[in-house]
Structure formats: structure tokens, C-alpha cells
């Protein structure tokens, strides 16, 4: 994971404009009746004639045209009191190398990604293999609001209100065999839709499909979420629609996006970043301020909140990203430095 300094041309309008100005522009557009979750092409052209977006940018201010749907979810106490990262940043500052390695590439290259129909297959060492459709993902398990901290290994963080259900609920339904010890996950492989899978250069040298894994007890922990939404609506493609993993006590690369396969097995599965740079990215990847990345410190992080991405505040990194009460017991006999 390289830390790239974005070129000026890659910086989104909403990173350069103070949030209040940016918001009031959206308000003006709303009053004019020409801004919705997805701005129709004619309205975009009209907005450009008005010079409201400026330059030759023909997209809505947050860069999204994909249509998301509202979700009904049960409120939960997770994340009470956390400061929310603005939705505009969660939607435009992303890592999803299948759509390019720049933070603005996923939103730019994924708006036509097809998420319905979708099939998520659950197989391997289970008594009841399953195939879930797009509708199953949204309706089979009761949805919950889960407001979690998210910490990328690159030392930035966000607080994101997810919608989803515990991975444990799905695994219980599939009924793991006694021999199952690990869970492997796989992202869609579709070079036609994902430019990073067509070119090693665009895709950051990763061998696709992107794969991840958890120990079965980590997968069964109540915190481990299969997310189908954020900010009360279905996921946008750049965030891993229609279904992605969220493991809030681990570095973000464990939270694999756009999953098509969940496979239970006996041996520890291979994982994408570990294959690419084994001495930098381990299988466990637990957030830990005392275990530095070989090329940078993990003691503190840049929290992405209101205001410019470049002026975000530094804050100390929390052990297990603040979830030690929920997960420390999983690692009592483990050397966390050796098992990074």
C-alpha cells in the first residue's frame, strides 16, 4: 500500500471547498430541484451551464451517479458519541484497487458497476451450503445500524455508520462442520467491469481476485459485520456494493469488498496483501499502536472528519482500534508482534 500524494487534478472539489460552502451549494441546487442522489445527465449539463460545479467536471459534486436505495435497520448502541466522517468523504476517498489505486479512482470508475443480480456463495466445510441473491442479502437477515471506527493500515481513519448483519448469523445458518477452522473470502473477478483487473498498472500489481481470510472465532465474533449499506442506504460500488466485510479491530484491507464467495476450510487461507508483501502485511493485521509498519509508525493516525483531507487532525491509535473489550480475549496466548 503506497502512500500517494494526489496530483492537484485528482483532488475532488469537496476537498478543496470548505464543507459549509460545498453543502450550501448542494442546498441551492436542491432548491432549484436539480440535485438528487443521482443527478440526471440533463440536469448535470444544466448545472454546468450555470457554472455551479465549475471547470469541465460533468458529475455531481460528490462524484456519484450510482443510485442507492434507503434501508430500514434496527438502531444499536455501537459507536455512540463518535464523530461521524462526512458521507461525501466516505464516498470519494476510497481504497478499491480493482477500480484504480488513487483515492479518487474508485468513485470515478465504478458508477456503472452491476450489483443486481448478484450471487454470494457459501461453501466448503459447512453442512448447509448456500447461495444468496441480491434480495437475500438485503432481506434474509435483520439489518442493524453499526457505527464503527475504520482504520486503514496507511494510518488514516474514518468513523462510518454501516448497515448490515453479523457474519455469525450467516455462518450459523450454513452450519460449519467441526473441522472448519478458517473462513476465506473472495471479491468478484470481472475484468470487463474492473479496470484494475485488466491492467497490472491500474490494479497496483495485485493478482486478482482479491482474497481475504479470518480465523473462524474471529469471523463468529459479534462485531464482525457483513455490510450492505452505509448512511442508511445501500452501499455505493466504491465502498464494496452489494456486500462487503467490516472487521473494525483490524486494518482496513481485511474488510474485503464486493464479495462473491465465502469458503470455510481447515488451513489458514492466503490473503492478497500478505501475498504481495508478506513482511509488511500479515494475516492478522490487528490495529496495534505498538507494532509499526516496517516503513511508518502506527502510533498515531489522521482522522478524516469535517474540513480538508489535508488538515485532518492527528490522534493516537487505539489498541484493537478501540475494541479491546470485545476482542482481546481472541489473542490472549498470541505474540502480537510476531503475528502482525
Ligand X SMILES: Nc1nc2c(c(=O)[nH]1)N[C@H]1C(S)=C(S)[C@@H](COP(=O)(O)O)O[C@H]1N2
Decide if residue 255 touches ligand X (CB under 6 A): yes
Q: Cα separation of 16 and 21, whole Å?
A: 10
Which partner in ligand X, Mo ion, none is near 79 (CB below 5 to 8 A by kind)? none
Which partner in ligand X, Mo ion, none is near 104 (CB below 5 to 8 A by kind)? none
Q: Cα separation of 226 and 139, whole Å?
A: 13
Q: In angstroms, what is the minimal distance from the CB of 3 to Mo ion?
A: 11
Three-state SS for 306?
A: coil
Site string for ligand X, 202-221 (x = CB under 6 A): --------x-----------
Region of residue 121 (left: phi > 0; alpha: psi -120 to 50; beta: else): beta
The answer to whether the beta carbons of residues 253 and 101 sit under 8 Å apart is no
Decide if residue 152 touches Mo ion (CB under 5 A): yes
DSSP code of residue 14: H
Q: Give Cα separations from 174 to 16, 77, 140, 289 (angstroms).
A: 47, 28, 13, 36
31 labeled part of a ligand binding site: no
Q: Cα separation of 289 and 181, whole Å?
A: 28
- Sign of the Cα torsion 125, 130, 241, 30 reads negative
Q: Give Cα separations from 240 to 76, 111, 169 (angstroms).
A: 22, 12, 20
Q: In angstroms, what is the minimal distance from the CB of 83 to ligand X?
A: 16
Site string for ligand X, 156-195 (x = CB under 6 A): -------------------------------x--------
Site string for ligand X, 41-80 (x = CB under 6 A): ----------------------------------------
Residue of 94, 109, 221, 274 that binds ligand X (CB under 6 A): 94
C-alpha cell of residue 60: 455531481
The answer to whether the beta carbons of residues 321 and 248 sit under 8 Å apart is yes
| Between 60 and 256, CB nearer to Mo ion | 256
Region of residue 299 (left: phi > 0; alpha: psi -120 to 50; beta: else): alpha
Decide if residue 98 touches ligand X (CB under 6 A): yes
| Between 10 and 175, CB nearer to ligand X | 10
- Give the residue closest to ligand X by C-beta: 252
Which partner in Mo ion, ligand X, none is near 97 (CB below 5 to 8 A by kind)? ligand X
Which partner in Mo ion, ligand X, none is near 35 (CB below 5 to 8 A by kind)? none
Binding site for ligand X (CB under 6 A): 94-98, 150, 152, 187, 210, 239-240, 252-253, 255-257
Amino acid at each position: 500500500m503506497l502512500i500517494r500524494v494526489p496530483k492537484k487534478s485528482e483532488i475532488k472539489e469537496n476537498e478543496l471547498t470548505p464543507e459549509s460552502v460545498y453543502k450550501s451549494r448542494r442546498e441551492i441546487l436542491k432548491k432549484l430541484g436539480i440535485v438528487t442522489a443521482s443527478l440526471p445527465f440533463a440536469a448535470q449539463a444544466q448545472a454546468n451551464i450555470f457554472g455551479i460545479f465549475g471547470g469541465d467536471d460533468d458529475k455531481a459534486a460528490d462524484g456519484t451517479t450510482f443510485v442507492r436505495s434507503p434501508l430500514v435497520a434496527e438502531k444499536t448502541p455501537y459507536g455512540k458519541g463518535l464523530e461521524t466522517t462526512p458521507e461525501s468523504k466516505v464516498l470519494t476517498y476510497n481504497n478499491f484497487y480493482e477500480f484504480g489505486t488513487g483515492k479518487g479512482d474508485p468513485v470515478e470508475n465504478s458508477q456503472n458497476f452491476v450489483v443486481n443480480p448478484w450471487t454470494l456463495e457459501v461453501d466448503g466445510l459447512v453442512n448447509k451450503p448456500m447461495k444468496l441473491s441480491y434480495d437475500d442479502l438485503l432481506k434474509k437477515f435483520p439489518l442493524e445500524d453499526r457505527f464503527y471506527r475504520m482504520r486503514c493500515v496507511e494510518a488514516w481513519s474514518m468513523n462510518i455508520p454501516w448497515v448490515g448483519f453479523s457474519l455469525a448469523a450467516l455462518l450459523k445458518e450454513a452450519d460449519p462442520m467441526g473441522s472448519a477452522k478458517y473462513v476465506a473470502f473472495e471479491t468478484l473477478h470481472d475484468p470487463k467491469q474492473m479496470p484494475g483487473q485488466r491492467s497490472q498498472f491500474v490494479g497496483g500489481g495485485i493478482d486478482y481476485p482479491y482474497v481475504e481470510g479470518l480465523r473462524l472465532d474471529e469471523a463468529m465474533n459479534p462485531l464482525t459485520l457483513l455490510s450492505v449499506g452505509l448512511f442508511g442506504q445501500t452501499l455505493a460500488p466504491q465502498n464494496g456494493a452489494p456486500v462487503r466485510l467490516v472487521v473494525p479491530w483490524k486494518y482496513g484491507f481485511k474488510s474485503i469488498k464486493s464479495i462473491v464467495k465465502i469458503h470455510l476450510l481447515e488451513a489458514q487461507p492466503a490473503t492478497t496483501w500478505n501475498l504481495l508483501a508478506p513482511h509488511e502485511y500479515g494475516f492478522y493485521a490487528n490495529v496495534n499502536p505498538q507494532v509499526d509498519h516496517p516503513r511508518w509508525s502506527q502510533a498515531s493516525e489522521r482522522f478524516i472528519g469535517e474540513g480538508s483531507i489535508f488538515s485532518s487532525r492527528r490522534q493516537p491509535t487505539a489498541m484493537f482500534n478501540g475494541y479491546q473489550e470485545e476482542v482481546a480475549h481472541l489473542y490472549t496466548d498470541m505474540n502480537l508482534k510476531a503475528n502482525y
